[in-house]
Structure 1
Amino acid sequence: MDPDGNDIKPDNTSVELGTLNDALQELLDGIQEDFYAVVDWAYKIDPLRCISMHGITERYLSSQKADAAGFVRKLLHDLESRISVQFSRFIDEACHQIERNERNVRQTGILAYIPRFAVLASRMEQYIQGQSRDLIDKAYTKLVSTMFATLDKIAHSDPKTVDIVLIENYAAFQNSLYDLANVVPTLAKFYHEASESYEQACTRHISSLIYLQFERLFQFSRKVDELTYTIAAEEIPFQLGLSKTDLRRVLKSSLPGIEKSIGAMYRRLQKTLTSDELFPSLWDKCKKEFLDKYESFVQMVTRIYGNESIMSVAEMKENLDKF
């Protein structure tokens, strides 16, 4: 009897299920290899079939009670592990293929694996069944991390073109993954990472172009800015190389013929890119960055040197807008 005084009847269910599972195991022993063969066959035809097989297996396992089909559950757990191993092998090989790009130094333009990944990701999404999201997200993380690391190594193989390679390939990644990144959180994370890296590379490249074309102007400004931390503003015009006469020389060498200088900067930026599509947005960034720097320069001149004659920011904008 139980504490309430009721008779306790023997529970034969678990015993019967155990007997049934033992009988099933004895009856179906050896059939596991046939299931493994089907998984291997599907993998050879298309490795992405692993995604749907994994999802279907997971879905069945989550819907069944552990004691109701013990032998079947064990078989499906083994299959799930085998499918995961097969898919991991496919992802590892894909990563190795990406890393082989490092050997092809001095590459320009869009690296082949960028558009290929977009196609692969689209196909992978089509195979999702049940709870396969985690399997795919881990694959995305490994693939894209390898892609970005390889891109960085290839870009830095040539210091002269490092930022151009980064700009063009991060832009291509964003363009090709835009639609998927809107619906797949893991890809959205990498999309934003690519966007940040793109903006950083743009800033570096544009700044280098501006300083290359207007080196004397902004070098003078930089020297003044550095001195403002150590001496009073009114003392700066009396420092060697920073007098009013020095300022006038810099202005005379930099601002006359400004259209020609801006045109040279325009053509240099255009020449560095292999992708014409990126040029308009980059040139807009370049004009904005230059105008911001020039406005800071004008403010510095007014603050330190008083009413020195200098082209206004509005005039400079008019010259920039001609291109």
Structure 2
Amino acid sequence: MGLCDERVVIVTGAGRGLGRAHALAFAAEGARVVVNDLGVGLDGRPGPDGPAALVVEEIRAAGGEAVAHGGDIATTEGAASLVRTAVDTFGRLDTLVNNAGFLRDRMLVNLDEDDFDAVMRVHVKGHFLPLRHAAAHWRAESKAGRPVTARVVNTTSGAGLLGSVGQGNYAAAKAGIVGLTLVAAAEMGRYGVQVNAIAPAARTRMTEQTFAGLAALPEDVSPLVVWLGSAASAGVTGRVFEAEGGRLTVMEGWHPGPTADKGARWTPAEAGEAALKLLAEATEPRPVYGA
């Protein structure tokens, strides 16, 4: 018996790297997998091949069940067809892994508006739209009286948690995914949906230039993703996990630190003096990647 027997799992951006590793790992645990990939290059522009079909072939060759989906999940129709593909092919949907993304790295003074918009679109909209259509499906199932044990695993990054020099667009997008995760977890719990996020560190085509010394493999991240996407993770929601090699970390976000309350409005000078005193008591933030 696999951890995900009978579960139907969507993985976006599953043609290569982390997504491919996730899709294969879910299939190895008995899941039926919808392998989504647009087949674009590292910068999000059209590529010459269709890697989703190759991953489906791998899964089927190992005795599993899978279907390819080549739609653009950062569009309403693409995201809606993604959910329809799961339900029409396998009769249900249990887990959504939002993983698709690409990079267009520039220092801020050289970052074009189009490159900012493109990265925000694929990461933020590419998370929101599949989540929105999957959530609507699960809400309808719950309201119809059919039990829902659904899971969503979103993909953020250390860049979104700490920042990363030369990746202002990517860092902003990945920080947005954390906020989306927290809201979705709070809103969808009543329908039987748990939503978490991972901040993976692994050697893929997205990281091999920026973090050339990174040795951890995509396959090292996938076991946590599979567990979060399974029924075994009951009660775990609204959390962010960092995964690198054999190391797992629960990331703890913003929380109140030192506080001063005058009980009335501060003058600018008073506010500045109070802020400096509070900063002297506060924990130093971790450095931005690349700083």
Q: TM-score, normalised by structure 2?
A: 0.32
Q: TM-score, normalised by structure 1?
A: 0.30
Structure with more of its chain in strand, by fraction: 2
Larger radius of gyration: 1
Structure with more of its chain in helix, by fraction: 1
